[in-house]
Amino acid sequence: MRGGRGVSELPENWWRDKDEFVARLAEHGDNNYAVAEATGVAEATIRKWRTRHSLPASSRRGAAESRVPHLAAVPHDDTWLLALLKKQGDSATVEDLADAADVSPKRVREALTRLGEGGFRVEEEAERVVLTRRAVPGQNVHKALFRGKTVRFGVVSDTHLGSKHERLDELHYAYNVFRDEGITTVYHPGDLVCGYGIFPGQNTEVHKHTYNDQVDYAVENYPRVDGIHTYLIGGNHDLEGAWGKAGANPCVAFCNQRDDFTYLGDYQATVELEQGTRIYLLHPKGGIGYAADYKVRKLAEGFESGSKPNVMLVGHYHRRFDVEARGIHSLLCGCFEAGGSFGARLGLSDPAVGFHIVTLTVADDGSVVRWVPEWYRFWPGREVAA
């Protein structure tokens, strides 16, 4: 390194220190690629932390041949499309690309084929053209990424306390499993209580009919296990219906009386781990769609580049599903309410009652390199062991 500090002299996770980060940029001419090459850090990490340190985008991009694997193998006449794909991101269709370049869609498709032969994977996802660079053989691009930290946490959702269909015994069993498994952090993506006035006829399906009664019932009956802290967001049953019209939030009232809980916000919240890994809790609205993964994939598509979380925990749907979309590990989290007339009308006559223990291995740049969601299912008609 030109008169600078060698890689071995840099502090661990040096990019998190803004002064150190700025110094490295200055040393390499404000060139993200040069800093990445000199320090052995992924260029994506340099770009991400430039944004987090509120620094302007790099004014220098370096030689294209040094930035793009296999560029030498790409026919010169197709470099226009390569540059356009990188500029457009993952949102352009073939027609969009053709309009931007003032060429026919046929020429775009022919060039996409040649790019694929030159070392790029080009796919059409939901009518969008997505370009993914292939690793060059022998570069060991992913070497050392798995030297990360293992993180484990529990997930419960849609407990609906106060409902005649709640599964309180199963919820207590879940926290006993968390205790036995050494879990100290649990995430809850919404619907702590069942609420009131959420749908027509709900008053016949609750056993606690007032706001205070539901809050007091949750405070008294939600499992409390020493050493376990639960992070909660509000769902539609917490924030809408009669309570919402009155401006009351049972989650806040509950957390004010339980020191083992933290309220993160209404409908959504992001938790960032030490390594920069972002866990997004979401309680969406509406139905699930025709397939279990449809809604999750649509949600993943809604994140702008650079703002995507690493993990998304989704409540509300009373379904269980695990899918990776756009690099986001997404989990439909199940529930602790079995049945009910409204659920049956929504096609949820057999909801997924259960909980998860999630194991992540995260690299120093926050990326998830190992994802293991374990699903514990409670089946109807079977007793819960003590």
What is the three-class DSSP state of 5? coil
Task: Provide the pLDDT for residue 196.
Answer: 93
- CA torsion sign, 219 to 220 to 223 to 225? positive
Q: What is the pLDDT of residues 79-130, one digit of tens each?
A: 777 777 777 766 678 888 888 877 788 888 877 777 665 555 566 655 677 6
Q: What is the pLDDT of residues 44-56, one digit of tens each?
A: 778 878 888 888 8
Q: What is the pLDDT of residues 329-366, one digit of tens each?
A: 999 999 999 876 655 555 555 789 999 999 999 988 88
pLDDT level of residue 70 (50, 70, 90 thresholds)? very low
Q: What is the pLDDT of residues 276-314, one digit of tens each?
A: 888 999 999 876 665 667 778 888 888 877 788 999 999
pLDDT at 230 over 50: yes
Selection from 195, 321, 317 nearest residue 250 by Cα? 195
**Of 244 and 65, more confident:** 244
Q: Is the separation of the CB atoms in 95 and 88 below 8 Å?
A: no
- In the sheet with 268-272, reading across from the earlier edge strand, the strands are 268-272, 278-282, 311-314, 328-333, 320-325
C-alpha 150/C-alpha 359 separation (Å) is 7
Mapped to the 3 state alphabet, what secondary structure does 187-251 carry? EECCCCECCCCCCCCHHHHECCCCHHHHHHHHHHHCCCCCCCEEEEEECHHHHCHHHHHCCCCHH
C-alpha 243/C-alpha 212 separation (Å) is 10
- What burial class does residue 128 get, using C-beta atoms within 10 Å of its C-beta: 0-12 exposed, 13-18 middle, 19+ buried? middle
pLDDT at 65 over 80: no
pLDDT level of residue 6 (50, 70, 90 thresholds)? low
C-alpha 315/C-alpha 307 separation (Å) is 20
pLDDT at 270 over 60: yes
Which segment of 23-37, 290-304, 311-325, 370-384 scores lowest on mean pLDDT? 290-304
Task: Provide the pLDDT for residue 101.
Answer: 78
Report percent pLDDT > 70 for the chain.
78
Determine the average pLDDT of the residues in 241-259. Answer: 90
Q: Which residues pair with 355 in a beta bridge?
A: 376
Task: Provide the pLDDT for residue 59.
Answer: 56
Please state whether the predicted TM-score (pTM) of the whole model is above 0.75: no
C-alpha 212/C-alpha 254 separation (Å) is 10
Task: Provide the pLDDT for residue 130.
Answer: 67
What is the three-class DSSP state of 269? strand
Q: Which residues pair with 234 in a beta bridge?
A: 266
